[in-house]
Chain A
């Protein structure tokens, strides 16, 4: 994935390459110093576009040199290179000059001539002088590309999909970790230390829990701006409450245990009791909660992105769905823009739910069904 996923690699809404045997793919043919010709088998319909670009430098000035396009029926001279020591090539099959040069009527599609039938084709540079340096690129644009086709901007959907994993994981895991940390701290302290401040915080928590998250997130996204870490922050701030309440309840009950009472009686510092006893006891339950909280964060991010409120520079699955929806994937029948990201979100959530279930069973042996003592 060295290439920038933002580049346009093929025409918009290209189908995945495994669809449609006759559909013309998007190809690039490269010629360089060592490769003066290349041949391909073309068993498809005619492509949409034909472009040759590059630069050729000869070691001397050739008397006879040309750039040839060989079809199963005829050989065409795309450009006469005779007499040029150093020449830049820029040919486009849509240009009228090209068509005139090739004796094709100006309003006819040049590709009919260039790709008359299925068979062997070749791009050849021939000259009577050696080629010193050459970088020539023939771009054939068809209707299909890559594993998952392209989107409305011509970007490779498969690369975008893989990038989306990264974003979903980053957002899902960091938001949940931060939220759990906040929830754990608030829960432990309010459960153990109590007091008016913490009672007030818990009442505040109760109020916050009644507010529907999505509208708030939308408003905050509009105010605070878009960006990956802003999103993580917003998501964390609104999901720590559940954890805080669970941890607080656990702490309150653990506080009354016999040994905690004994330790308090002996004069153990609250910090010692919290760190050495209460934390290790509440943490395992928290692990399961964390695993189960990640899907929530992932879905929240996907929802916000789908509504178009996320950073357009950040490629996420939700964003992909948004762009698919806004830029006409439906009308173009480009299902490959909708199913992979949707599927990806669902699959990732299911994986984390499974992890969470496994952790829950690890922590609470009763769920596994233990053997009799």
Chain B
């Protein structure tokens, strides 16, 4: 693959939404990251953390309010529509909702082949058919009789998710954005999905893996960025973060994650607020170690191989 050096470069990315009810809301604030080709990155955060917004910005579906976005070494702000389409054809996207992301009128095999049809035209279909079959088998849908059935009627949620994975990989993307690709899978099969993605990573694909599960993130990616309400909390090698989390949110997340044989611990204070504090650290209303400095937003400071945004961490 003759690929660009840097898959993704984000610098101080910010996205603000204005709504009548809540006024201005920062969906993303101060996000920076750099991915080389072949890197794997996990975005860990819960709902409202801005993970999906981030993916939409990367795909060019959303204009950021501030900061820079360089996708496959091209500045998105300066891209024409054709250039953007070309970039998108080199990215794969597995959406979070497996029910809305597959066309209901097509069969399984047609769904996987559709991106080839659009990019390469009808003539590319015969060759693409073999690749599509291989991907479906790899994704665990090896019953060919299932391939001709309509997506809408014959497949379970877990199966649909596998089809959308095959669909995202069929164009051999340089960068894959996977938004909770194992949400519909049973615990025993989650590992399989991650194995499939890793195989493609070995062939040179970059991967952004979005999840709320720290352990899953560690299995899927080399580096983790933990987000809370749009702000970066902690970034670093996944092994280190899970073994020894520094940011209070990451620590609360780890303690609350169900683990075999360990009682889940709730260290955060239950928040009575539904409000969105616009200034200062977004976690401070639930943080067990909150202090006065938390009224202003802590910067992301480097600490060895890691970066942490918390006043309390030295």
A261-B61, A281-B105 given as contacts; is B88 within 8 A of A267 (CB)? yes
Per-position 1/0 for A247-287, Cβ under 8 A of B: 00000000001110111011110001000110011000000
Residues on B with C-beta less than 8 A from A266 are 85, 88-89, 115, 118-119
Residues on A with C-beta less than 8 A from B118 are 263, 266-268, 272
User: A303 CA to B126 CA in the complex, in Å?
Assistant: 58
B119 touches A265 (CB 8 A): no
B103 in contact (CB, < 8 A): yes
Q: How far is the CB of B233 from chain A (nearest CB, A)?
A: 28
Partner of A281, one of B60, B95, B104: B104
User: A267 CA to B90 CA in the complex, in Å?
Assistant: 12
Residues on B with C-beta less than 8 A from A280 are 105
Which single residue of chain A is at the shortest CB-CB distance from B89?
A: A266
Per-position 1/0 for B105-119, Cβ under 8 A of A: 100000000110011
B114 touches A263 (CB 8 A): yes
Which single residue of chain B is at the shortest CB-CB distance from A277?
A: B103
B291 in contact (CB, < 8 A): no
Which single residue of chain A is at the shortest CB-CB distance from B82?
A: A267
B192 in contact (CB, < 8 A): no
User: A258 CA to B98 CA in the complex, in Å?
Assistant: 9
B102 in contact (CB, < 8 A): yes
B256 in contact (CB, < 8 A): no
Residues on A with C-beta less than 8 A from B95 are 258, 262
A258-B95, A277-B105 given as contacts; is B100 within 8 A of A267 (CB)? no
Count of interface residues, chain B, beta-carbon cutoff 8 Å? 20
Q: How far is the CB of B307 from chain A (nearest CB, A)?
A: 31
Question: For residues 216 through 267 of chain A, which have their beta carbon under 8 Å from a beta carbon of chain B?
Answer: 257-259, 261-263, 265-267
Residues on A with C-beta less than 8 A from B85 are 265-267
B61 touches A265 (CB 8 A): yes
B240 in contact (CB, < 8 A): no
Question: For residues 23 through 79 of chain B, which have their beta carbon under 8 Å from a beta carbon of chain A?
Answer: 59-61
A259 touches B100 (CB 8 A): yes
User: A261 CA to B88 CA in the complex, in Å?
Assistant: 12
In terms of DSSP, what is the predominant structure of the interface of chain B? Answer: loop
Question: For residues 9 through 59 of chain A, which have their beta carbon under 8 Å from a beta carbon of chain B?
Answer: none
Partner of A258, one of B86, B101, B115: B101
B89 touches A259 (CB 8 A): no
CB-based A-B contact count at 8 angstroms: 40
B97 in contact (CB, < 8 A): yes
Partner of B101, one of A259, A272, A277: A259
User: A277 CA to B93 CA in the complex, in Å?
Assistant: 20
Q: How far is the CB of B29 from chain A (nearest CB, A)?
A: 25
Residues on B with C-beta less than 8 A from A262 are 93, 95, 101
Question: For residues 261 through 319 of chain A, which have their beta carbon under 8 Å from a beta carbon of chain B?
Answer: 261-263, 265-268, 272, 276-277, 280-281
User: A266 CA to B95 CA in the complex, in Å?
Assistant: 15
A258-B100, A272-B118 given as contacts; is B89 within 8 A of A267 (CB)? yes
In terms of DSSP, what is the predominant structure of the interface of chain A? Answer: helix
Partner of A265, one of B59, B105, B114: B59
Residues on B with C-beta less than 8 A from A277 are 103, 105
Which single residue of chain B is at the shortest CB-CB distance from A276?
A: B105
Q: How far is the CB of B172 from chain A (nearest CB, A)?
A: 14
User: A259 CA to B105 CA in the complex, in Å?
Assistant: 11
Residues on B with C-beta less than 8 A from A268 are 118
User: A292 CA to B93 CA in the complex, in Å?
Assistant: 42
User: A258 CA to B85 CA in the complex, in Å?
Assistant: 16
Q: How far is the CB of B170 from chain A (nearest CB, A)?
A: 11
Q: How far is the CB of B215 from chain A (nearest CB, A)?
A: 27
User: A362 CA to B115 CA in the complex, in Å?
Assistant: 31
Which single residue of chain B is at the shortest CB-CB distance from A265?
A: B88
Q: How far is the CB of A332 from chain B (nearest CB, A)?
A: 60
Q: How far is the CB of A363 from chain B (nearest CB, A)?
A: 13
Which single residue of chain B is at the shortest CB-CB distance from A283?
A: B105
User: A277 CA to B104 CA in the complex, in Å?
Assistant: 8
Q: How far is the CB of B46 from chain A (nearest CB, A)?
A: 21
Residues on B with C-beta less than 8 A from A272 are 118
User: A332 CA to B115 CA in the complex, in Å?
Assistant: 74
User: A266 CA to B119 CA in the complex, in Å?
Assistant: 7
B100 touches A257 (CB 8 A): yes
User: A267 CA to B100 CA in the complex, in Å?
Assistant: 19
Which single residue of chain A is at the shortest CB-CB distance from B59?
A: A265
Residues on A with C-beta less than 8 A from B88 are 265-267
Q: How far is the CB of A278 from chain B (nearest CB, A)?
A: 10
Residues on A with C-beta less than 8 A from B115 are 266
User: A134 CA to B59 CA in the complex, in Å?
Assistant: 94
A259 touches B102 (CB 8 A): yes
Residues on A with C-beta less than 8 A from B59 are 265
Q: How far is the CB of A295 from chain B (nearest CB, A)?
A: 30
User: A18 CA to B61 CA in the complex, in Å?
Assistant: 77
Q: How far is the CB of B311 from chain A (nearest CB, A)?
A: 40
Q: How far is the CB of A231 from chain B (nearest CB, A)?
A: 37
Residues on B with C-beta less than 8 A from A281 are 104-105
Contacts A266-B118, A267-B85 aside, 20 further interface pairs with beta carbons under 8 A come to A258-B95, A258-B100, A259-B100, A259-B102, A262-B93, A262-B101, A263-B114, A263-B118, A265-B59, A265-B60, A265-B85, A266-B89, A266-B115, A267-B86, A267-B89, A276-B105, A277-B103, A277-B105, A280-B105, A281-B104
**Interchain residue pairs A-B with the least CB separation, the first 8:** A267-B85, A258-B101, A258-B100, A280-B105, A268-B118, A265-B88, A259-B103, A258-B95
24 contacts between A and B (CB under 8 A): A257-B100, A258-B95, A258-B100, A259-B102, A259-B103, A261-B61, A262-B95, A262-B101, A263-B114, A265-B60, A265-B88, A266-B85, A266-B89, A266-B115, A266-B118, A267-B85, A267-B88, A267-B118, A267-B119, A268-B118, A276-B105, A277-B103, A277-B105, A280-B105
List B residues at the A interface (Cβ < 8 Å): 59-61, 85-86, 88-89, 93, 95, 97, 100-105, 114-115, 118-119
